[in-house]
Structure 1
C-alpha cells in the first residue's frame, strides 16, 4: 500500500451536484451514495492516485468491494455501473479509477505525505547502516535491499501509468469512420485490452485504422470498419502490415483522345499545359474558378506547333460541349 491519506476533500454543496441529484432519484439511492463515499475513502486510504488498488499488483474487483463495503454484490455492481455511466469512475485495464481524483485531494498535501514517507524510509535505511557498524556483509544486504526497493517502485509506476488508452483508440476510430462506437462497451474494452497486453501500442492501433479505412471506404467492406473486426487477434497483425490502397485519381471530362495527344508529346511544355488544361476543365465541371497557376500556364507564350495542337484540342472540346460533334 502507498502512503495512506487520512482524509479526503468533500465540497459542502456535493448534494447539489447534478450527478448526485440524479442518483437520488434511483432505487436504493442512499446505498449507492454510501458506496460512492466508500470508494472515495478507499482510494484515499490506498493512495494510488485514484486507482482502486489493493497493492502494487492487485486491483479491487466488484466482489472484493462487496465484501469490504458489506453490501450485496448486485447493489455494488449497479452502483459501479451508474458511476461509470455518469463519468464518476472509469474502468481502465480492468481497474476502477476515479478520473477527477484531484477534486477530492489536495495535491500539495498528498506530496507532503509522500515526502514524509520518503524521509521515514531514508531514516530507516540510515539506521540499518549504522547498526551494521561497518560490517561489509550487512552493508551489502542493505544495498541489495535498496536496489530491490527501487525496482519495486519502478514496477509500481509502470503498472499504474502503462494503462491502455481505450477511449483514445475508440475516439480515433469514430473520427476516421464517422461512427459512434462506445469506449465503455465491455466487448470493445476486452478486445483492445487483449491486443495491448500482447505489446501493441497506440500508434499500432491508429495505423490499423488508417490502413483499413483507406482500403475499405467506399467498398462493400466498409461495414466491417468496427472494433470486433479491426482488433481481432487473427486480423490485427495482418491489417497492421497491409499497404493502404492508393486513392483514385480525380475524374475529369478531358476525353481520352486529348490525353493521348499529350502522351505523344513528352516535352516539359506540353506536360505543363496538359496539367493546366485538366485543371481548367475540372474547375469548369465543378463550377469553380480556374486555378491561377493554370491560367498563367495557358496564357504564357508557346511554340507554334504547341499552339496549333492546343488550339485543336480546345476547338474539339468546345464543339463537344456545344453539341456540335
Structure 2
C-alpha cells in the first residue's frame, strides 16, 4: 500500500457515536441528518488530508457538499454552522472547509496526535489557518529565540490548560474572548440558567479582563456567582458588569 493510498480509509473508534459531542449533535433537531452529513464529509475529505476540495484548485461549497452528500442545501448550511461551533470544522483563509479531527481518524493509533499537529503546522505555514504564522526562525538552531516556535509552544500550553478531564477542547466566549467553556459546560449552563447564562459569561469576561484574575474552571465560577446572587436576591438577575466595579 502506497503512502497516498493509506489515507483513503476512515477509522472510527467504537465510542465515536457515544462521545459527548456526537450525543449532543444527534439530540438536536435534524441531528441525525447532521451526523450522517458529518460522516460523509469526513469521507469526502480523505484524499485531501481533511480539506474539502472539489478538485485540486476549487474547494467545496455548501451547494456542492449538498450535491455529493444528497442532503438539502439548507440542511448543509445549518449543519456547517453547528460543526464550526463544535470545532469539528474550521474555515481556512481561502474559504475551504477543513475537518479539524481528520488526522485522528486515519493511520495508526500511536501517531494520531503527531499527525494532527503536523497537518495543522503545514496549514499554518501556508497561512491557511486563521491566525496561522509563517515559520521565520533563523537557520542557526536557536529554537528558544524563534518567535513563531515560542508562540506555538505557548499556544500548546494554553490549549492544554483548557481541556477537561476527558480531553474535550474548550472554546472562547465573552466580549474579551477569555471565558473558556467546553460544549458540555456551555450546554449545562444554558440549561441551568436559561435567561441569564450569557450575562454571567459577560460578567466574568469583563472582570477577568479588568483585574487580570484567572480561574481554574470558568463554568464553576459562573455557578458560584449565580448561587451567591440567588442567595442575596432570591433569584438570578440579568446582571451587567460595569468597568471598575468590584466583585
Calculate the TM-score normalised by the size of structure 1. Answer: 0.34
Structure in which a larger fraction of residues adopt helix: 1
Ranked by relative contact order (alpha carbons within 8 Å, sequence separation 6 or more), the top structure is 2
